Amino acid sequence: MLDWADWVHVVALTPDDRLVLVRQFRPGAQAVTLELPGGMMEAGETDPVAAAAREFTEETGWRAAEWRPVIGLPPEPAHCSNRIHFVLALGCTPAGAQALDAGEDIAVEVLPLAEVLAGLGQGLVQNAMHVGGLLLGLAAAGRLALAERPAGG
């Protein structure tokens, strides 16, 4: 079993319905991938929303007017003991420079929501956990309806 700290990831929307995303190298994929901003909760952090706000500002240099928890789920319950917390950030605006950790190389991309949604089926976002969290976050923001399919339909 893998015993990691909890993770936080941010579904960040600007006032004009653009998503604040990050692009960085991921060794497992051996590629630079587009994903939600976020990372590990630090020792002593107990509030996923506060940890998400910290990670978001550090990675992007942006801030949000409003923060809402969306959901916390195990990322891989067969192998991992931690949870991944998705947090919704609304009213996102630039606030200054990134405050990256040593060795981090993260590019910020701000893309129209419609463009991101259209690209999900083509692999625009490579991390499956981020795709699921993004869809749940957008539903929580009222930007996406997750309709129940009728039985037998």
For the chain (length 153 residues), average pLDDT per consecutive 10? 91 98 91 94 96 96 98 92 96 93 90 97 94 96 85 68
**Is 31 within the bounds of a domain?**
yes
Distance of CA 70 to the CA centre of its chain: 11
Do residues 92 and 59 lie in contact, with contact meaning Cβ atoms separated by under 8 Å? no
For residue 118, count CB atoms less than 10 angstroms from its CB and return exposed for 0-12, middle for 13-18, buried for 19 or more: exposed
Q: How far apart are CA 105 and CA 54, in angstroms?
A: 17
pLDDT in tens, 103-146: 888 999 999 999 999 999 999 999 999 999 999 999 999 999 98
At residue 75's C-alpha, the angle toward residues 133 and 47, to 5°, is 75
Distance of CA 130 to the CA centre of its chain: 6
**Is 112 within the bounds of a domain?**
yes
| CA atoms 96, 103, 105, 16: torsion sign | negative
Domains: count for the chain? 1
**Is 151 within the bounds of a domain?**
no
Q: How many C-beta neighbours within 10 Å does residue 110 have?
A: 15
**The domain containing residue 81 runs over which residues?**
7-140
What pTM was estimated for this model as a whole? 0.93
Do residues 9 and 85 lie in contact, with contact meaning Cβ atoms separated by under 8 Å? yes
Instruction: Say which CATH number the domain at 124 has.
Output: 3.90.79.10
What is the Cα gyration radius of the chain? 15
Q: What is the pLDDT of residue 31?
A: 87
